[in-house]
Amino acid sequence: MLKLLEIFDNLLDKVNIFIMSIMMGIATFVAFINVVLRYVFNMSLTWAGELTSYLFIWSVLFGTAYGFKIGMHLGVTALIQRLKPVTAKRLLTFSLFIVFIFLIIMIKWGYDFVKFNYELEQVSVDLHIQFWIIYLCVPITMIIAAYQILLKIIKIIKMPAEEFSYDLVMKEH
Amino acid sequence: MATLVLFGLLFLLLLIGVPIAISLGISSTIVIILYTSMPTLVIPQKMFTSIDKFALMAIPLFILAGNFLSQGGAARRIIRFAKAVVGHLPGGLPMSAIFACVIFAAVSGSSPATVAAIGSIMMGAIRDAGYSDKFSIGSITCAGSLGILIPPSIVMIVYGVTVDQSIGKLFMAGVIPGLLLGGGLMLVTYIAAARAGFKRQKMAPLKEIFGSFMEAFWGLLVIVIVIGGIYGGIFTPTEAAAASAVYAFFISLFVYKDIKWKDVPNIIKISATTTAMVMFIIATAMLFAFVLTYLQIPQNLAQWIIDMHFNKYVFLIFVNILLLIAGSFMEPSSIIMILAPLLFPVAMTLGIDPIHLGVIVTVNMEVGMLTPPVGLNLFVSSSISGKSIEEVIKATLPWLFALLIGLIIVTYIPSISLWLPNLIYG
């Protein structure tokens, strides 16, 4: 069972990294092609701006989810670093729990957001893609983010207080 | 009451170590639910639309360009050129490092990235040449902060998008203050090195200056794309960013050949995570700014300042102090997103130029990156040099002092910032 979870986590990270990188790569390429077309061939793709933006946003949201795993989201740790390990551990568990609740609520609201747009049936201006498809990235990435925080909470609870350090819990590669 | 809840919650969450982006999100969300009748649908919508702006797409593109150049050996070539030009003066090596930071700042939009690119090569070299840690660490840690003042600049993009000002103008306004501060840092190094009795070296032969320039030429061309492209009105900042990202990729892979195809996915991955960090903060900070505006806090603050009969100069002192304090605790993008909407309306009523305010904010953010507890440059320097944060802080003091003097000059002489953009945009 544990083994299976480990395989799942690895796969999740790989997919996550793949999506955020490939979207960024394509977005950069599209943005560049549009510049070239505009200045060299004096024509431009109307949909290029929109495509670039949405690809980058997908990349950003998947990057955000992955960021929770590697502890990339900066916080003010001055207090936690200064406390005794036992107290610091309790405080960080508490704040991780708050983050977890917020992310769970964001999943719900992200889903509402998609559903609302699904019912509206509006399409984007240039690409003519249904908006709800574009917005799908919100609930999906929030689910991944919440899962990553859940793993951190399990990890910190299992960790003996005397071994506790902020970086040990939050930063992973 | 709502104001108190908003800021109280934000402060409390930050204190217990909740990430900045999440703290902004939670405090805004709670105020929206408690004190407004808006549907919760507004929250994901505001967050999504706040990063759905074409101007912001310059951020990932500039980050990508910077990463290709620093991993691709452009930094090394820029250093060689800088050494050839200023290496013969007293304090030649640290001077070259500062000069290299100024040049690298013009191809990269981030301060920690500049410190990492130049510091990882130069810190060891300066120490080996017999300089104290002060010279090796202090000079680069401070000079690297120019990364956000000399265009391109991620911080200026965030400011421009937050208060709806031309990013091209902001970029141009950063050029002269950036050179001024760079010059100031070099002057401090010159005086300190001359005092410490470091001898002049022989001047590099013209052949070396020319040769190293040709070596660095392809990397330096990014400056022409960015500054020249925007200056000449050819590119918008986002277009310039797209062109420099692909250009940087191309020269690192095919001209300098320092990176291989197999390195590309990792460079994109690193860039994507950095981008995500900045943009996620922007998403929740925009929600926060939206709540601020809804509660009319900026308007009330502006009214209060007017009622108190504060003049421009007193207000600017207040702005500097506030930003310096905030800069010690938070990272630039989040500070700008929280404070710019507050300060902007007041500054406008007092007749401060919005572009000049952007430069003042940026210079403050530079200093903020050098002051504990949250100074990103300090952490980068500490991890590169292997010295403790305390030692790094001590080493930066003389140069930090020079930056503070520069801040005062830039704050009270608007024409330093505004001359160039006015010349270009009329």
Share of chain A above pLDDT 70, in %: 99
Share of chain A above pLDDT 90, in %: 62
**Distance of alpha carbon B238 from alpha carbon B57, whole angstroms:** 6
pLDDT tens digits along B296-306: 888 787 788 77
**Closest to B148 measured CA to CA, from B185, B108, B95:** B108
Per CB-CB distance under 8 Å, the chain A contacts of B25 are 102, 106
| CB spacing of A53 vs B20 below 8 angstroms | no
What pLDDT, on a 0 to 100 scale, did the predictor assign at position A171? 79
Q: What chain B residue is nearest to A14 in terms of C-alpha separation?
A: B269
Q: Mean pLDDT across the stretch B166-171?
A: 94
| CB spacing of A52 vs B17 below 8 angstroms | no
| pLDDT band, very low/low/confident/very high, at A167 (cuts 50, 70, 90) | confident
Per CB-CB distance under 8 Å, the chain B contacts of A76 are 14-15, 17, 20, 329-330, 373-374
What is the interface size between A and B, counted as CB pairs within 8 Å?
166
Q: What chain A residue is nearest to B334 in terms of C-alpha separation?
A: A74
**Closest to B356 measured CA to CA, from B234, B176, B229:** B176
As a whole number of Å, the end-to-end CA separation of chain B is 45
What pLDDT, on a 0 to 100 scale, did the predictor assign at position A133? 92
Distance from the Cα of residue B389 to its chain's centroid:
20
**Distance of alpha carbon B15 from alpha carbon B374, whole angstroms:** 13
pLDDT tens digits along B242-261: 999 999 999 999 998 889 99
Measured at the alpha carbon of residue A74, what is the angle toward residues A70 and A80, in degrees to the nearest 5?
Answer: 100
What pLDDT, on a 0 to 100 scale, did the predictor assign at position A125? 83
Using alpha carbons, list the distances in angstroms from residue B177 to A2, B143, B258, B363, B402.
Answer: 57, 13, 33, 9, 13
Contact B336, B361 (CB under 8 A): yes
| CB spacing of B276 vs A62 below 8 angstroms | yes
Share of chain B above pLDDT 70, in %: 100
Residue predicted with more confidence, A39 or B82: B82
Q: Does the pLDDT of residue B379 top 90, yes or no?
A: no
Q: What SS3 class is residue A123?
A: strand
Measured at the alpha carbon of residue A66, what is the angle toward residues A25 and B18, in degrees to the nearest 5?
Answer: 130
Say which range, A10-24, A40-54, B29-43, has the weakest mean pLDDT: A40-54
Q: What chain A residue is nearest to B21 in terms of C-alpha separation?
A: A73
| pLDDT band, very low/low/confident/very high, at A61 (cuts 50, 70, 90) | very high
Its pTM stands at: 0.88
Q: How far is B409 from chain A (nearest CA, A)?
A: 31
| pLDDT band, very low/low/confident/very high, at B347 (cuts 50, 70, 90) | very high
Backbone angles phi, psi at B387, to 5 degrees: -90, 160
Token digits of residue A147: 């899962």
Residue predicted with more confidence, B109 or B150: B150
Q: Does the pLDDT of residue B277 top 70, yes or no?
A: yes
What pLDDT, on a 0 to 100 scale, did the predictor assign at position A69? 92
| pLDDT band, very low/low/confident/very high, at B176 (cuts 50, 70, 90) | very high
Q: Does the pLDDT of residue B201 top 80, yes or no?
A: no
Q: Does the pLDDT of residue A101 top 80, yes or no?
A: yes
Measured at the alpha carbon of residue B394, what is the angle toward residues B392 and B400, in degrees to the nearest 5?
Answer: 95
| CB spacing of A57 vs B53 below 8 angstroms | no
Q: Does the pLDDT of residue B386 top 90, yes or no?
A: no
What pLDDT, on a 0 to 100 scale, did the predictor assign at position B154? 92
| CB spacing of B41 vs A116 below 8 angstroms | yes
**Closest to B53 measured CA to CA, from B169, B161, B153, B170:** B161
| CB spacing of A35 vs B329 below 8 angstroms | no
ipTM exceeding the 0.90 mark: yes
Give the residues across from A130 on adjacent strands: A123
Q: How far is B316 from chain A (nearest CA, A)?
A: 27
Q: Does the pLDDT of residue A173 top 70, yes or no?
A: no
Sign of the dihedral through C-alpha B268, B378, B89, B199: negative
What pLDDT, on a 0 to 100 scale, did the predictor assign at position B272? 94
**Closest to A17 measured CA to CA, from B267, B140, B336, B69:** B267
CB atoms closer than 10 angstroms to residue B319: 20
Q: What SS3 class is residue A130?
A: strand
Q: Does the pLDDT of residue A91 top 90, yes or no?
A: yes
Q: Mean pLDDT across the stretch A145-173?
A: 87
pLDDT tens digits along B64-98: 998 998 887 888 898 999 989 888 888 889 999 99
Nearest to B243 among A32, A77, A91 (CB): A32
Q: How far is A3 from chain B (nearest CA, A)?
A: 27
| CB spacing of A28 vs B64 below 8 angstroms | yes
Sign of the dihedral through C-alpha B58, B64, B68, B74: positive
Nearest to B43 among A56, A61, A109 (CB): A109
Q: How far is B164 from chain A (nearest CA, A)?
A: 18
What pLDDT, on a 0 to 100 scale, did the predictor assign at position B163? 92
| CB spacing of A76 vs B276 below 8 angstroms | no
| pLDDT band, very low/low/confident/very high, at B266 (cuts 50, 70, 90) | very high
CB atoms closer than 10 angstroms to residue A108: 13
Q: What SS3 class is residue A37?
A: helix
| pLDDT band, very low/low/confident/very high, at A32 (cuts 50, 70, 90) | very high
Token digits of residue B360: 């003042």
| CB spacing of B40 vs A62 below 8 angstroms | no
| CB spacing of B57 vs A31 below 8 angstroms | yes
Per CB-CB distance under 8 Å, the chain B contacts of A171 are none
Mutate to test the interface with B, among A68, A73, A104, A107 (most CBs of B within 10 A): A73
| pLDDT band, very low/low/confident/very high, at A99 (cuts 50, 70, 90) | very high
Backbone angles phi, psi at A62, to 5 degrees: -65, -35
**Closest to B52 measured CA to CA, from A140, A72, A51:** A51
Q: Mean pLDDT across the stretch B100-117?
A: 90
Per DSSP, A127 falls in state T
| CB spacing of B272 vs A61 below 8 angstroms | no
CB atoms closer than 10 angstroms to residue B390: 11
**Distance of alpha carbon B277 from alpha carbon A26, whole angstroms:** 20
| CB spacing of A78 vs B373 below 8 angstroms | yes
Per CB-CB distance under 8 Å, the chain A contacts of B239 are 31, 35, 38
| pLDDT band, very low/low/confident/very high, at B30 (cuts 50, 70, 90) | very high
What pLDDT, on a 0 to 100 scale, did the predictor assign at position A74? 76
As a whole number of Å, the end-to-end CA separation of chain A is 23
For tokens 């998008």, name the residue: B161
**Distance of alpha carbon B64 from alpha carbon B324, whole angstroms:** 29
| CB spacing of B242 vs A72 below 8 angstroms | no
Q: What SS3 class is residue A1?
A: coil
**Closest to A112 measured CA to CA, from B41, B284, B45:** B41
**Distance of alpha carbon B123 from alpha carbon A61, whole angstroms:** 36
Using alpha carbons, list the distances in angstroms from residue B408 to A153, B16, B91, B315, B359.
Answer: 46, 34, 26, 13, 12
SS3 of chain B: the string is CHHHHHHHHHHHHHHCCCCHHHHHHHHHHHHHHHHCCCCCCHHHHHHHHHHCCHHHHHHHHHHHHHHHHHHCCHHHHHHHHHHHHHCCCCCHHHHHHHHHHHHHHCCCCCHHHHHHHHHHHHHHHHHHCCCCHHHHHHHHHHHHHHHHCCCCCHHHHHHHHHHCCCHHHHHHHHHHHHHHHHHHHHHHHHHHHHHHCCCCCCCCCHHHHHHHHHHHHHHHHHHHHHHHHHHCCCCCHHHHHHHHHHHHHHHHHHHCCCCCHHHHHHHHHHHHHHHHHHHHHHHHHHHHHHHHHHCCHHHHHHHHHHHCCCCHHHHHHHHHHHHHHHHHHCCHHHHHHHHHHHHHHHHHHCCCCHHHHHHHHHHHHHHHCCCCCCCHHHHHHHHHHCCCHHHHHHHHHHHHHHHHHHHHHHHHCHHHHHHHHHHHHC
| pLDDT band, very low/low/confident/very high, at A15 (cuts 50, 70, 90) | very high
Instruction: Provide the mean pLDDT of chain B.
Output: 90
What pLDDT, on a 0 to 100 scale, did the predictor assign at position B335? 87
Sign of the dihedral through C-alpha B247, B250, B251, B255: negative
Q: How far is B41 from chain A (nearest CA, A)?
A: 6
Contact A111, A136 (CB under 8 A): no
| pLDDT band, very low/low/confident/very high, at A123 (cuts 50, 70, 90) | confident
Nearest to B17 among A61, A76, A113 (CB): A76
| CB spacing of A76 vs B40 below 8 angstroms | no
What pLDDT, on a 0 to 100 scale, did the predictor assign at position B233? 78
pLDDT tens digits along B391-400: 899 999 999 9
Say which range, B107-111, B305-309, B409-413, has the weakest mean pLDDT: B305-309
Say which range, A2-6, A105-109, B242-246, has the weakest mean pLDDT: A2-6
